[in-house]
Amino acid sequence: MTARTSANEARQAVPTGARAARKREAILEAARTVFLREGFGAGVDQLAAEAGVSKVTVYNHFGSKENLFNAVIGQTLDEALEVAQSVIQAKLAESDDVRTDLLEACRTWVAGLTTPEVLALRNVIAGERHRFPELGATWQEEGPGRQHAALAAALGRLDERGLLRIPDMELAVLQLSGLVLSPHLVYGAYGTALDEDLAERLVQGGVDMFLRQYAVNP
């Protein structure tokens, strides 16, 4: 049986049910471990062995190694951004204390995306971007794209309520990201983490700079 044949069969019948869900989760967890250790060049045989399943089972669930890596990206970013998305959606848009709630949103955003595992996955994707640009597209869509859209919606609501004045929302969201998150990504690309005190100063200083620019009564 060839890899192409296995992929075709996977498209015909993706396993369902509780047992299949457990296998799918095991494959995803194993794949994340192997991809972080070996890079995208890891073979499906390695992924299957790590998960304790057959190679055919991997294809039955995901169809291809590319699909599996994309699923790993999606799952990792879902976990990394869960708390920040909750704060943004549940608190920030209707906030009566914009600085406090924006600080919380930024702290959880930074905390989620600066774990060693998330930074390592980001570095693997960056290293493969020339050969597999679709991996970078998935990261952009599931990470910055989703987070920036949530922030834009919440900040737009604050603008509507007269608490902020933001004439260029796309620019404003990128500026906020640059102030509180980007230094971590730059240092993380070289395996260096900012200490907790500096990380907190970045968040507080970044939010205050942002509000001096956009708050109606800074």
Question: What are the boundaries of each domain within the chain?
Answer: 3-63, 75-214
pLDDT digits (tens), the chain, 218 positions: 444 444 444 445 677 778 888 889 999 999 999 999 988 888 999 999 999 999 999 999 999 999 999 999 999 999 999 999 999 999 999 999 999 999 999 999 999 999 999 999 998 998 888 888 888 999 999 999 999 999 999 999 999 999 999 999 999 999 999 999 999 999 887 878 899 999 999 999 999 999 999 999 86
CATH number for domain 3-63, candidates 3.40.50.300, 1.10.3720.10, 3.40.190.10, 1.10.10.60: 1.10.10.60
CA dist 130 → 44, 125, 136, 142, 164 (Å): 21, 10, 9, 19, 40
Q: What is the largest CA-CA distance in the chain?
A: 67
Phi and psi at 168, nearest 5°, equal -130, 95
Alpha carbons 139 and 137: distance in angstroms, whole number: 5
Residue for token digits 């507080």?
Answer: 204
Question: What is the DSSP code string of 158-182?
Answer: HHHTTSB--S-HHHHHHHHHHHHTH
Q: What pTM does this model have? A: 0.83
Q: Which CATH superfamily is 75-214 part of?
A: Tetracycline Repressor, domain 2 (1.10.357.10)
Q: How far is CA 26 from the centre of its chain?
A: 20
Residue for token digits 């995901």?
Answer: 62
